[in-house]
Amino acid sequence: MTLHFAYGSNMDRAMMRRRCPGAQEAGRAVLDGFRTIVNDDGLITAVRAPGVCVHGVLWRIGVRDRAALNAYEGLDVGLYRAVTLPVCFCDGRGGAPGGARVRALLYLARSSRRGRPKPGYLPLVLDAARAASLPDGYVAALARLGPAGFFGTRARDIGEFSGEVSGGLS
């Protein structure tokens, strides 16, 4: 089993059930030294930023689920890259880190140029963050990542919205 730290659409329980049927939620966690941005592909990524952190959800995933996530995150076309970094379990007191430090798989976008979220993507991430009981201040910061209104083009559509999003999307 691998621990996967989700901080975007992979926080959404229903989407993870569809993408990774064997995934088991392990709890909330924090990635120190990174901040969340929306890149020019209209997707959330984490970029290095001393003194701040990214909140998210930890999932236990097996080999098949990891392969499914690799495909979904567009590793083969260079949309995201998989890395393993230390994260800290939250202790339950307002989302504060304080639990065990573990290594987790996460996906970082190749592009860190800022952009605006794709239509429907940010509301999905916000709903998932609230459902995971991430800290209110962090959810408010996510909401400020920008208004919907995706602009720009992509070399190839990899189908990440294929029927999964209705009104609201790692």
Which domain covers residue 59, as residue numbers?
Answer: 2-139
The answer to whether 41 touches 107, Cβ cutoff 8 Å, is: no
112 within domain boundaries: yes
155 within domain boundaries: no
* Both structure tokens of 154: 């992509």
164 within domain boundaries: no
106 within domain boundaries: yes
The answer to whether 31 touches 7, Cβ cutoff 8 Å, is: yes
162 within domain boundaries: no
Higher-confidence position of 96 and 107: 107
Phi–psi pair at 67, nearest 5 degrees: -60, -40
The answer to whether 47 touches 112, Cβ cutoff 8 Å, is: yes
- What is the domain count for the chain? 1
End-to-end alpha carbon distance in the chain: 20
We report the CATH number of the domain holding residue 87 as 3.10.490.10
- Confidence class for position 164, pLDDT limits 50, 70, 90: very low
Q: CA 158 to CA 38: how far, in whole Å?
A: 18
The answer to whether 161 touches 9, Cβ cutoff 8 Å, is: no
pTM above 0.75, yes or no: yes
pLDDT of residue 166: 27
* Both structure tokens of 29: 């966690």
66 within domain boundaries: yes
Average pLDDT value over all residues in the chain: 85
| 3-state SS, residue 59 | strand
Higher-confidence position of 91 and 72: 72
Q: How much is the average pLDDT of 45-58?
A: 96
pLDDT of residue 146: 77
62 within domain boundaries: yes
Q: CA 56 to CA 4: how far, in whole Å?
A: 10
7 CB contacts (<8 Å, ≥6 apart)?
31, 36, 44, 46, 54, 55, 56, 57, 106, 170
Residues 131-156 have pLDDT tens digits of 999 999 999 999 999 764 444 444 33
Segment among 28-32, 63-67, 130-134, 158-162 with least mean pLDDT: 158-162
9 within domain boundaries: yes
